[in-house]
Amino acid sequence: MPRLNGPLVVTSLCWGFNFVSIKLLYQQMTPPAVALVRFLLMWGALVLICRLWRVDTRIEKADLWRTLFAGAVSMGFYMILFLYGMSLTSPAEGAILLATAPILTYLFSVIIRVERFEWWALVGTGIAFGGVTMVILGGHAAGSGSLTGNLFVFASAILWAVSVLMMRPLLVKYQPLPVLTRSMPGALIPLLIFGFRDSIAIRPLEWNWVTWANLTQVVLGSGLIGFLGIYRGVREVGPAIATRYQLMVPVIAAFFGWVVYHQELVTLQWLGLAVVLGGIALAAWARSRTNQPEVVSNVASKQ
């Protein structure tokens, strides 16, 4: 049985709670404002951490434009589509649509020959996706989103899958923290266009502690810790397996929804939880049986 990857599990926990945090933040801020404020605070925190820890963030000139473009996709356009889509759809439907990213990543990986095609891996992914569907259907009566919102979230899942594959060569060559820090400027222009007007209209002095707490979680939890976790996971086990952990996010989101909003999990949702975990285990087993995890020990040992 493959061992769980710690950074990817932590990322799943942070991103699972993120659906609750975003909805709470929308009570005080618009999606464009959330996108830009989150980005600026996260970028500032990364620069500060690199200076305090004296992290070498140098990226070779040949890789710089690739890094910036990957940042524009992963931290800019993906985030715009996701946050705007979530304002128009329910957390349940948003979670299930975003959970298609692992399937998309695996398919894209096979197409560009980063991953070998494996039937059991595809079956496991499909089973896990079916379990996510069961979890969402069990709580579907809580609300329904618009078609526009669902399309935007699905588009963000496509961009996320693409960005993971774009980051893979960089994460083989460099550590996650420098890659994330140096990729951030690539998202600045699209996020300024999207969120500048709404951001200057916010009134932070009027926020209560709930807003500040959820902003902290969105910036440090799902932002800083989450992205570093997924990038480290991509570096250690490859993009297909790393993004499969996202299938746990809707299940975790359902749990935190129960804790925060006292929404009971129905029998179908508990059954879906078991199916999700079983599907992930099957896919990971099939991948490790035919293609050993892409651990880049030879690169990591030099840094």
- The tens digit of pLDDT for each residue in 1-50 reads 457 778 888 888 888 888 889 988 998 999 999 999 999 999 999 999 99
Tell me how far apart the 2 most distant CA atoms of the chain are, in Å: 56
Residues 130-139 have a mean pLDDT of: 71
CB 186 within 8 A of CB 72: yes
Give me the mean pLDDT over the 117-126 stretch: 80
The count of residues in the chain is: 303
- Mean pLDDT to the nearest integer, 101-130: 79
Quick one: average pLDDT of 243-250?
A: 74
The answer to whether residues 286 and 121 touch, using CB atoms and an 8 Å cutoff, is yes
pLDDT at 301 over 50: no
Alpha carbon distance 100, 13 (integer Å):
18
Q: The pTM is what?
A: 0.79
Give residue 139's pLDDT: 58
Task: Report yes or no: 218 and 15 within 8 Å, Cβ to Cβ.
Answer: no
